[in-house]
Amino acid sequence: MKSRIFLLLVVFLMLAGSLIGQAAPAASTPMAAQNALAKTNSAADGKAQAPPPPENPKSDSDESVTTIVHVVNEVRVVFTVTDRHGHYIKDLKSNDFRVIDDNKPAELRSFRSETDLPLQVGLLVDASNSVRDRFKFEQEAAIEFLNAIIRRRYDKAFVIGFDATPEVTQDFTDDTSSLSAGVRMLRPGGGTALYDALYFACRDKLLKQEQTGPVRRAIILLTDGEDNLSHVTREEAIEMAQRAEVIVYTISTNISGMKGKGDKVLERIAEATGGRAFFPFQMRDVADAFLSIQEELRSQYAVAYKPADFAANGRYRTIEILAQDRNLKVRTRKGYYAPKQ
């Protein structure tokens, strides 16, 4: 009897242990879930308690981007105004004209007469065989022009001679003696790569020249306009001049007495960049052309404006400056290329 009771007790204890063992995992599962939930809530609380980021965080790079956007949204243009007889008008005010950018009125930011802005001038002389007849006279006229226009410690100029390739005979300097020597180094001979020379002067000289403030960039191009060796086209050369914001003055060396194909090329280059084309059929007229360019460079206006609907997409945008007095003629570059972001 006692043995039977003992056996039942053992069986009971074994069953109880089994039940307790099965219940233990079930009991631990809610506890684990509670622990995991507690950790999740703790982590969530940690994120919520972290200080919120500033509404408009600005890094150094952001500051520089902001500055660039401000600069490219303002367009600066140099222009010349003449009356019906070609005389320069030098006393205009900002309310005497309006600016149209890409066919929409623009907001003026500043306006001033620019008789004393520093000059960056490139003299490009055709040294091909086609200009041999009066080359010496043109050299002397160019030297006289540089001596008159370049001011020491203020303006700078360079000299390039071109036939098959452009050659810099004098780099940027304010020393007129060095510039004169650079002009006299030119020797006629070879073919004519006119467009390459203009492209090179704008891209590799004027665009890369350091400037600490507003300047006027101009090229005086002395050639017959005939091109037979260039790798770039006329329009590519014009586009580079527009990107460099260069006014191109052309002086034809054609002495036939009739405007030829090359003269039309020179008219196109000058008109597209806001310059003038000169056709001195007699040698003495070359000096007069240089004098006219000199006077114009000292009789210009500069305006800064904000275009409407500006987009930094690299697209070409047109420029029109219209005088309120319809008897006045305004000459400026035809447009510009918006920068790309």
Question: Taking the mean position of all CA atoms in its chain, how far away is CA 326?
Answer: 31
pLDDT digits (tens, 9 = 90+) for 140-150: 999 999 999 99
Q: Indicate the pLDDT class of residue 37, thresholds 50, 70 and 90.
A: very low
- Inform me whether the pLDDT recorded for 45 exceeds 90: no
Over the chain, what is the mean pLDDT? 82
Specify the pTM.
Answer: 0.77
More confident residue, 47 or 153: 153
Using H for helix, E for strand and C for coil, what is the string for 230-263? CCCCHHHHHHHHHHCCEEEEEEECCCCCCCCHHH
**The two structure tokens encoding residue 186:** 């030119």
Question: Taking the mean position of all CA atoms in its chain, how far away is CA 107?
Answer: 20
Give the mean pLDDT of 105-126: 91
pLDDT digits (tens, 9 = 90+) for 262-297: 999 999 999 999 999 999 988 789 999 999 999 999
- Inform me whether the pLDDT recorded for 44 exceeds 60: no
CATH numbers and ranges of domains, the chain: 62-114+301-337 (no CATH), 119-297 (3.40.50.410)
DSSP state for residue 114 in the 8-state scheme: -
Alpha helices in the chain (DSSP H): 2-49, 60-72, 135-149, 176-184, 194-200, 234-243, 261-273, 283-297
Q: Are 114 and 235 in contact (CB under 8 A)?
A: no
End-to-end Cα separation, the chain, in angstroms: 101
Biggest CA-to-CA distance, the chain: 150
